Structure 1
Amino acid sequence: MTIVILGSGNVATHLGKAFHTFGHQILQVYSRDKANAEALASLLNADAVDTITDVTDKADFYLIAVADKAIEQVVDQLAEPITGIVVHCSGATNSNVLARFPLYGVVYPVQSLRKDIPTSLENIPFGIEGNNMEISDSLLRLMQHIAVRSFLCDSKQRLALHIAAVFVNNFSNVLFQVANQILQEQNLSFDLLKPIVLETAQNVQTRTPKDVQTGPAERGDTETIKKHLQFLIKNPHWLKIYQQLTEEITRNKR
């Protein structure tokens, strides 16, 4: 398969390398920053272009791997005669943003990827959607060679998955930041929490989150909760977070 990659960031880099490794021919890498295009193109034995009108219309597959806010702009600027499959990689963007092309879809990695961190894509789930069943099946076969856990999902399911990923990844990490600051103020190291962080993550690999919920809110330990709230009263932001999460745990008690 001949491929054009539009973008040179994290997802573009990981998928570009994977496609190249599996024998696909990367024709071009497009980026508005020529240096970035050249850096990725050099890894993929591809041509680098920084003008979108120079993107060939002869490829079998076009991977739009840019920031969500830039997808529509890239789509609008691509040449009309493109007959290959055009996909984006966004979790929150509907597939119909690509509807001006006859063949289109989505390949969404349920993972935060960094181009400077080597990551195997093999076991990362990819949500796959095509504008018809034939394209869906083609994209699924393509991606399952790279990521065996790829699966079909529609745009609404993908949005739900993206929101859920924000909860477990982005929101959990900002809670780690809060915890780190609480400890730092008492001259304690975040290293002290790393075993419980790992235990929590390991528990939900085999059981549901609800089944492994612990803590004072789950136990109905109001005295401990009062002590925590009093400790946090000097920081209204943290106090509000604690109260809201405590209410959510209480509401969902087993």
Structure 2
Amino acid sequence: MISVIIIGAGNVATHLYKAFTKSENVSVNQWYNRSLKSLQTFKNEVDITDDLNNLKDADIYILAVSDDAVASVSSQLPLENKIVVHTSGSVNVHDLDKKHKRGVFYPLQTFSKTAQLDFANVPICIETLDKPDYHILKELAISIGSPVKKVNSDQRKVLHLAAVFVNNFTNQLYRIGHEITESEGAEFDLLKPLILETAKKVQDLSPYMAQTGPAKRNDKKTINKHLKLLQSEEHKAIYNVLTESIKKTHGR
């Protein structure tokens, strides 16, 4: 049985807590947050605290806090020589206080508190400074059904950057598409099968090979029609930037 203490109460922390409690091999000894209000829903399930000085003993302490808070919180922990990991994609493992056995337990996925999530579809990127710590973090990831990858800080940094493009930026394009359809009373739901097929396609093809559309074909008439339809200058600028990027990629 691996015992953990979760520090933080955001989206990642909440999903990790739910996954850990479903595992027969993981015990959540305590859950800390600077405000107990965020943890009230779980107070009958797990010991909660808002005082770092009252932290219990555990095998692993998981800092599921904002990137900017990782170094500060780790330095405030009143313990030494314990495995302390953060869950950030962009924070270096060395940003953790060196009084700890430092590591990273980075779930490479998008997290929303209300969305259901199967950790079988959440790769856990692990980094440690000491080999024995890697094995216990790997066991923790396997205990919640996640695939495991050994990823160093430089690799994780570019994975996180790429994730912003394929997830955050893509979702913003969904929002723009939703706004465009609403302008004429069209149904955004009609685009959902296309969204799913686009995501499905890159499971088997490279993004380069999967590209379609007027920019790849250099279909100038369609491109100009689209630009005339767009009422927002911001949307026109985004359309032009992406069109030129696709044309350059495919030699048009």
TM-score (norm 1): 0.91
**In the alignment, is residue 69 of structure 1 matched against residue 68 of structure 2?**
yes
1:145 equivalent in structure 2 = 143
Structure 1 residue matching 2:44: 3-state secondary structure? helix
**In the alignment, is residue 39 of structure 1 matched against residue 41 of structure 2?**
yes
The answer as to whether partners of 2:75 and 2:96 remain within 8 angstroms in 1 is no
2:31 equivalent in structure 1 = 29
Distance in structure 1 (CA, Å) of the matches to 2:219 and 2:114? 45
2:249 equivalent in structure 1 = 252
Distance in structure 2 (CA, Å) of the matches to 1:24 and 1:229? 54
Distance 1:228 1:115, change over 3 A: closer
Distance in structure 1 (CA, Å) of the matches to 2:117 and 2:186? 32
Alignment of 1:146-161 (within 5 A): 146-161=144-159
The answer as to whether partners of 1:126 and 1:147 remain within 8 angstroms in 2 is no
The answer as to whether partners of 1:28 and 1:49 remain within 8 angstroms in 2 is yes
Structure 2 residue matching 1:122: 3-state secondary structure? helix
Distance in structure 1 (CA, Å) of the matches to 2:181 and 2:87? 38
Structure 1 residue matching 2:5: 3-state secondary structure? strand
Residue 73 of structure 1 deviates from its aligned partner by 2.4
Distance 1:96 1:108, change over 3 A: same
Distance 1:198 1:17, change over 3 A: closer
Residue 41 of structure 1 deviates from its aligned partner by 4.6
The answer as to whether partners of 1:28 and 1:41 remain within 8 angstroms in 2 is no
The answer for unaligned runs of 5 or more in structure 1 is: none
Residue 218 of structure 1 deviates from its aligned partner by 0.5
TM-score (norm 2): 0.91
Residue 25 of structure 1 deviates from its aligned partner by 2.5
Alignment of 1:98-117 (within 5 A): 98-117=96-115
Amino acid at match of 2:239: Y
**In the alignment, is residue 167 of structure 1 matched against residue 169 of structure 2?**
no
Identity %: 39
The answer as to whether partners of 2:26 and 2:140 remain within 8 angstroms in 1 is no
Distance 1:86 1:8, change over 3 A: same
Structure 1, residues 71-130: CA drift from partner, whole Å, max 9, x if none?
A: 222112111x33221001011111111142341111111111223333221231111111
Distance in structure 2 (CA, Å) of the matches to 1:193 and 1:25? 42
1:240 equivalent in structure 2 = 237
Distance in structure 1 (CA, Å) of the matches to 2:41 and 2:95? 29
Provide the aligned length of Structure 1 versus Structure 2: 249
1:190 equivalent in structure 2 = 188
Distance in structure 2 (CA, Å) of the matches to 1:21 and 1:198? 29
CA RMSD between the two structures: 1.8
Distance 1:149 1:210, change over 3 A: same
1:51 equivalent in structure 2 = 51
Amino acid at match of 1:2: S
1:179 equivalent in structure 2 = 177
The answer as to whether partners of 2:75 and 2:97 remain within 8 angstroms in 1 is no
Structure 1, residues 4-41: CA drift from partner, whole Å, max 9, x if none?
A: 11112222222223223323222211111123334335
The answer for unaligned runs of 5 or more in structure 2 is: none
Residue 176 of structure 1 deviates from its aligned partner by 1.0
Residue 182 of structure 1 deviates from its aligned partner by 1.2
Distance 1:133 1:251, change over 3 A: farther
